[in-house]
Amino acid sequence: MTEHQEIWCQPGNMPKRQFVVFFDDPDQGIAVFDDEDEARTFWEKANMAWSCYLLGTLPRDRTAPAVPPLRGWPIGTDDQVEALARECEWDNRKYMTPADYSIWCERMRKFARLASSSDTSGAYPGGNHDT
């Protein structure tokens, strides 16, 4: 039995979902990717200097979910940690020395891993924080 393959709203019947980065500046080109991680990395770097958008194609079938299942935020590099911090409106880099920034990135990685962990046993050592 073969796995269901989504058909996307994009030219032809290309099997891989396309991601597009385009810029507010009409003199800039459009970047097209078929790998979401590559598209996100490109957008993160471009967004530091330009106003730009990262878009992904939608499924042709309107009953299919428009948004893929939630995945963890990539935190493998300091740039990815900084992008996560910007998403949370935490702009600490300009207030830190490079050594402090490195320590902060490591702590942010730990925070992100703990926050996205599905294992919540012992997560609240002081008791239940939902009340």
46 and 91 assigned to the same domain: no
Q: Does any domain span residue 128?
A: no
Residue 67 pLDDT more than 80?
Answer: no
User: Taking the CB of residue 125, how many other CB atoms lie within 10 A of it?
Assistant: 5
Element (DSSP H or E) covering residue 130: none
Q: What is the average pLDDT across 71-89?
A: 74
38 and 3 assigned to the same domain: yes
How many domains does one find in the chain? 2
4 and 45 assigned to the same domain: yes
Residue 47 pLDDT more than 60?
Answer: yes
52 and 105 assigned to the same domain: no
Q: Crossing angle, helix 98-116 and helix 78-87, to 10 degrees?
A: 70
9 and 43 assigned to the same domain: yes
**Domain range for residue 30?**
1-59
Q: Does any domain span residue 107?
A: yes
Q: Does any domain span residue 123?
A: no
Q: Does any domain span residue 129?
A: no
User: Taking the CB of residue 105, how many other CB atoms lie within 10 A of it?
Assistant: 22
How, if at all, do strands 31-33 and 19-23 pair?
antiparallel
**Of the ranges 44-48, 64-68, 82-86, 95-99, the best mean pLDDT one:** 44-48
